[in-house]
Amino acid sequence: MITPERKIWRAVLGQAYADAQLPLFADGAEPLERACARAFLRADDPLLEAILKLICECAAVPCDRIVLWARKQYPDSGVKTNQP
């Protein structure tokens, strides 16, 4: 059963997907939201992976499938989104 709470967590994942699909700017630069969403969905670092696992658990969505899909869909560009 999909509860209202589960719908919210699924919406969080949906927003991450929408942000990951943002187009490049006219000058070819990548929007920060796009880079962050792609890194999040790929679980690029342990913190992002832990957060994604928690969100997926709350949304009743298999985290491993999201990460596998995102890593195929959005290959890592090598650009780091975390600030030191």
pLDDT for position 83: 47
Mean pLDDT of the 1-7 span: 93
- Does 26 fall in a domain? yes
- Does 13 fall in a domain? yes
* Alpha-carbon torsion angle 60, 77, 19, 41, nearest 10: 10
Number of domains observed in the structure of the chain: 1
- The span from the CA of 60 to the CA of 54, in Å, is 10
Non-local CB neighbours of 32 within 8 Å, separated by 6+ positions = 81
- Does 69 fall in a domain? yes
Per-residue pLDDT of 53-83, as tens digits, reads 999 999 999 999 999 999 999 998 665 555 4
Non-local CB neighbours of 13 within 8 Å, separated by 6+ positions = 55, 56, 59, 61, 66
- Does 32 fall in a domain? yes
Q: Which domain holds residue 59?
A: 4-73
- Does 79 fall in a domain? no
- Does 20 fall in a domain? yes
- Does 78 fall in a domain? no
Per-residue pLDDT of 11-63, as tens digits, reads 999 999 999 999 999 999 999 999 999 999 999 999 999 999 999 999 999 99
